[in-house]
């Protein structure tokens, strides 16, 4: 609530500490101006947790997308004679009850989970920024759009998501094919139910920015509304959008896994981390590692993304930066 | 304050109506047919009659209106009858479950104690753990305790209940054999031994739920304490020569509790949602599991009612949080 008022958008100006000449030597004055993103990066580097989180996230994303090129066992290949094997050089994570290689399944599942997370986040971000900018910029739309946001916030989300999965699974699977249909359904369901926080934050920032002098200057030289929004408003609300983007990935991955865990996500033969966890629960007593690996993957991904978002929030906040 | 509360209560009515409409319309598109289980030998005209007996086949707005009447008019009457032994609701049609053909609310009432026991205990435990952690982390900012607290709450945010729950089952019931992995709802507490059994089966679900709540609450408590610790009135209190304990635990804590109390109120409905997964993991026979079961069995009236109960909880606790905030903080004036 108060964050909105305290947040002062940066206009690409260097912070006062570097722009104002101090008692230092004269060379400092002639050094080239530093860009905003350079400052953000310098601040981001000092946050140890965020750096580790960013590296871990890149590592996870790289291994789930590029891993299959190096580990080319088909995740759906059934080898019933090699079922329920423990870890070995042939199968580092062992095999499941049908003899499918767990490492390959983990990578395939991760690719799906991360794709769902990123796509759902993009959808939620687009919806949230769109509604937030409209509500903040056009006074007439503010009331209705914010009431709509409040209504969506009052919906019980997890039960509704479950109901949506139940209702639209069949028709979408029939039109787009089983896997793609469910992918679209999950992404749409998560996106539609998680745009509200972004919309609120963006609206608050837009409300503050549109009263600033540079917007008035742009208007006075005859810039039309769409240009003002795309050229002057949007670049200045980029930082809250980026922070909610990282946090959005985390929520989307957890929601997808929760749906899969409750048996309402992707079909059984189509691995995602949540589904692997769900399948592993049946063999909990004999092979606890089958639950452990997917769960650890989900938790590590979400933890790294959360730390990344934390560092990004600090780095993008001009009040903290430069100190 | 009273006018504000009344205004908010009146505003809650259209919100709830909208939500009930959304839920109703969503379920209206359901492809499932409650007659799917009926044998093929039953002639179609009999099937049609059975469908009508379930209240289907009428236009949509009529059914929506009937559901609203049943939910807001008849069910409260049943409750009053139950409490005072009156007969207001005799002969009225109630919301009937397609699974059991018994009134939905009766089943919900049977299930609520289990959920309340587990979720309520978890919430109380979480508050008791989170507040001291938040206070001490803020008082010793950037100390190793604070760093640890930050890390633990980050982990609490990030580890989903379906993993932490399964993990504690593996460790404490499979490996160590300390606690049962399944929550037995038929267990009756009548002696010290049975109380210990009840305690043992509650520990794991309560801990899993409490970890998540603690993570959020302790962060919030810490931030709120930090906001207040640098205020002028704290310096004044110290300058007066008050003991450090009085300054922190009386002056700062009371002011820091204002936003925390509202967050505690706001969190209660979302806990019911989170409990869906935890109940599923530990096989707690509560409303979360009732909802999952109803979704799997295509029992639309049950799904409708439960989703709506969740919505009512959210709207109600939002209202309570707003009112609490106004009462606790005299600077806030809504009108």
On the question of pLDDT at A4 being above 70, the answer is no
Query: Could you tell me the pLDDT band of residue A15, with boundaries at 50, 70 and 90?
Result: very low
pLDDT confidence of B112, banded at 50, 70, 90? confident
Q: Give pLDDT, residue A12.
A: 45
Tell me which residue in A154, A263, A292 faces B318 most closely, judged by beta carbons. A154
With an 8 Å Cβ cutoff, are B170 and A291 in contact?
Answer: yes
Report the share of chain B in percent with pLDDT over 90: 2
Taking alpha carbons only, the member of A135, A184, A181, A190 closest to residue A157 is A190
Q: A121 vs A36, which has greater pLDDT?
A: A121
Chain A residue numbers with beta carbons less than 8 Å from the beta carbon of B30 are: 166-167
Can you tell me the mean pLDDT for B114-121? 84
Is residue A123 over pLDDT 90? yes
Q: What is the pLDDT of residue B163?
A: 86
B148 pLDDT more than 60: yes
Considering the entire predicted model, what is its pTM? 0.80
Distance from CA of B175 to the nearest CA of A (A): 9
ipTM rounded to 2 decimals:
0.77
Residues 262-321 of A with CB under 8 A from B: 262-264, 274, 277, 281, 284-285, 288, 291-292, 295-296, 298-299, 302-303, 306-307, 310
| Confidence band, pLDDT 50/70/90 cuts, at residue A319 | low
Chain B residues closer than 8 Å to A288 by CB: 170, 174
Q: What is the pLDDT of residue A5?
A: 38
CB A124 within 8 A of CB A248: yes
Q: Which fold has domain B108-328?
A: MetI-like fold (1.10.3720)
- Among A50-64, A191-205, B39-53, name the one with the lowest average pLDDT: B39-53
Instruction: Kindly state whether B31 is in contact with chain A, defined as any CB-CB distance less than 8 angstroms.
Output: yes
Q: Is A56 on the interface with B (CB under 8 A)?
A: no
Tokens 């209240």 — which residue?
Answer: B55
Q: Does A261 touch chain B (CB under 8 A)?
A: yes
- Cβ of A292 and B170 within 8 Å? yes
Backbone phi and psi for residue A95, each to the nearest 5 degrees, phi listed first: -125, 160
Residue B111 has pLDDT above 50, yes or no: yes
- Count Cβ atoms within 10 A of the Cβ of residue A82 and give its class: 0-12 exposed, 13-18 middle, 19 or more buried: middle
Q: Does domain A37-69+100-320 have CATH number 1.10.287.130?
A: no
Collect all residues of chain B within an 8 Å Cβ-Cβ radius of residue A303: 154-155, 157-159
Confidence of residue A128 (pLDDT cuts 50, 70, 90): very high
- Each residue of A138-147: pLDDT tens digit? 888 888 888 8
pLDDT at residue A178 in the model:
75
Cβ neighbors of A104 (< 8 A, separation 6 or more) are A68, A71, A73, A74, A75
What pLDDT is stored for residue A220 in this prediction? Answer: 92
State the pLDDT confidence band at A11, using cuts at 50, 70 and 90.
very low
Residue B55 has pLDDT above 70, yes or no: no
Interface of A with B in 97-156 (CB under 8 A): 150-151, 154-156
Residue B228 has pLDDT above 60, yes or no: yes
- Which candidate in B14, B152, B163 is best for mutational testing of the A interface (most A CBs within 10 A)? B163
Question: CA quadruple A31, A37, A41, A43: dihedral positive or negative?
Answer: positive
pLDDT of residue B30: 64
The Cα A212–Cα A216 span in angstroms is 7
Over the stretch A29-82, which tens digit does the pLDDT of each residue have? Answer: 566 777 777 887 887 888 788 888 889 889 988 888 887 787 777 777 777 776
How many residue contacts between A and B have a Cβ separation below 8 Å? 120
- Does the pLDDT value for residue A126 go beyond 90? yes
Structural domain boundaries of chain A? Answer: 37-69+100-320
pLDDT of B18 > 60? The answer is yes
Q: Which of A160, A167, A298 sits opposite B30 (nearest CB)?
A: A167
Residue B33 banded pLDDT, cuts 50, 70, 90: low
Q: pLDDT band for A7, please (50, 70, 90 cuts).
A: very low
CB contact under 8 A, B273 and A258: no
Helix intervals (H) in chain A:
2-6, 16-19, 27-30, 36-46, 48-70, 102-137, 139-153, 157-176, 178-193, 196-209, 213-220, 225-227, 238-261, 273-281, 289-316
């Amino acid at each position: 609530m108060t964050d909105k008022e305290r947040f002062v958008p940066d206009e690409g100006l260097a912070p006062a500490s570097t722009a104002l000449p101090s008692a230092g030597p004269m060379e400092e004055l002639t050094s080239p101006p530093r860009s905003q993103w350079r400052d953000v990066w310098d601040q981001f580097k000092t946050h140890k947790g965020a750096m580790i989180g960013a590296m871990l996230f890149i590592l996870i994303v790289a291994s789930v997308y590029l891993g299959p090129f190096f580990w080319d066992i088909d995740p759906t290949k059934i080898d019933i004679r090699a079922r329920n094997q423990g870890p070995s050089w042939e199968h580092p994570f062992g095999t499941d009850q049908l003899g499918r290689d767990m490492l390959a399944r983990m990578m395939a599942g991760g690719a799906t989970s991360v794709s769902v997370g990123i796509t759902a986040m993009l959808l939620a971000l687009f919806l949230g920024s769109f509604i937030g900018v409209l509500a903040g910029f056009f006074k007439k739309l503010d009331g209705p759009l914010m009431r709509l946001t409040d209504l969506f916030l009052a919906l019980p989300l997890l039960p509704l998501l479950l109901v949506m999965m139940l209702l639209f699974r069949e028709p979408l699977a029939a039109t787009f094919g089983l896997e793609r249909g469910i992918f679209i359904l999950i992404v749409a369901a998560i996106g539609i139910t998680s745009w509200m926080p972004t919309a609120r934050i963006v609206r608050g920032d837009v409300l503050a920015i549109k009263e600033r002098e540079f917007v008035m200057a742009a208007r006075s030289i005859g810039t039309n509304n769409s240009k003002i929004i795309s050229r002057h408003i949007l670049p200045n609300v980029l930082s809250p959008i980026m922070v909610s983007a990282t946090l959005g990935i985390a929520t989307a991955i957890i929601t997808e896994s929760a749906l899969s865990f409750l048996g309402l996500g992707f079909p059984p033969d189509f691995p995602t981390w949540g589904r692997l966890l769900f399948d592993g629960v049946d063999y909990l007593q004999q092979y606890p590692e089958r639950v452990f690996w997917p769960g650890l993957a989900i938790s590590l991904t979400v933890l790294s993304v959360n730390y990344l978002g934390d560092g990004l929030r600090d780095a993008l906040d001009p009040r903290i930066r430069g100190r | 304050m009273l006018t504000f509360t009344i205004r908010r209560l009146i505003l809650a009515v259209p919100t709830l109506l909208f939500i009930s409409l959304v839920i109703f319309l969503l379920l209206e598109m359901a492809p499932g047919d409650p007659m799917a289980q009926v044998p093929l030998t039953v002639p179609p005209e009999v099937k049609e009659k059975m469908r009508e007996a379930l209240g289907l086949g009428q236009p949509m707005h009529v059914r929506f209106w009937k559901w609203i009447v049943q939910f807001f008019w008849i069910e409260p009457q049943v409750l009053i009858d139950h409490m005072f032994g009156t007969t207001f609701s005799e002969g009225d049609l109630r919301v009937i479950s397609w699974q059991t053909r018994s009134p939905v609310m009766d089943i919900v009432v049977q299930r609520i104690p289990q959920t309340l026991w587990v979720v309520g205990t978890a919430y109380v435990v979480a508050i008791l753990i989170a507040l001291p952690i938040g206070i001490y982390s803020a008082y010793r900012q950037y100390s190793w305790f604070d760093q640890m607290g930050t890390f633990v709450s980050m982990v609490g945010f990030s580890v989903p209940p379906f993993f932490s729950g399964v993990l504690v089952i593996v460790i404490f019931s499979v490996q160590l054999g300390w606690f049962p992995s399944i929550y037995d709802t038929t267990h009756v507490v009548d002696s010290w031994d049975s109380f210990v059994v009840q305690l043992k089966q509650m520990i794991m679900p309560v801990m899993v739920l409490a970890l998540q709540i603690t993570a959020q609450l302790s962060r919030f408590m810490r931030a709120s304490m930090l906001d207040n610790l640098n205020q002028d009135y704290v310096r004044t209190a110290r300058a007066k020569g008050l003991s450090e304990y009085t300054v922190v635990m009386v002056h700062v804590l009371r002011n820091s509790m204002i936003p925390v109390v509202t967050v505690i109120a706001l969190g209660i409905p979302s806990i019911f949602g989170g409990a869906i997964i935890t109940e599923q993991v530990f096989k707690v026979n509560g409303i979360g599991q009732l909802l999952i079961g109803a979704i799997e069995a295509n029992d639309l009236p049950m799904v409708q009612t439960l989703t709506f109960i969740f919505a009512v909880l959210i709207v109600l606790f939002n209202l309570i949080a707003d009112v609490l905030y106004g009462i606790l903080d005299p600077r806030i004036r809504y009108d």
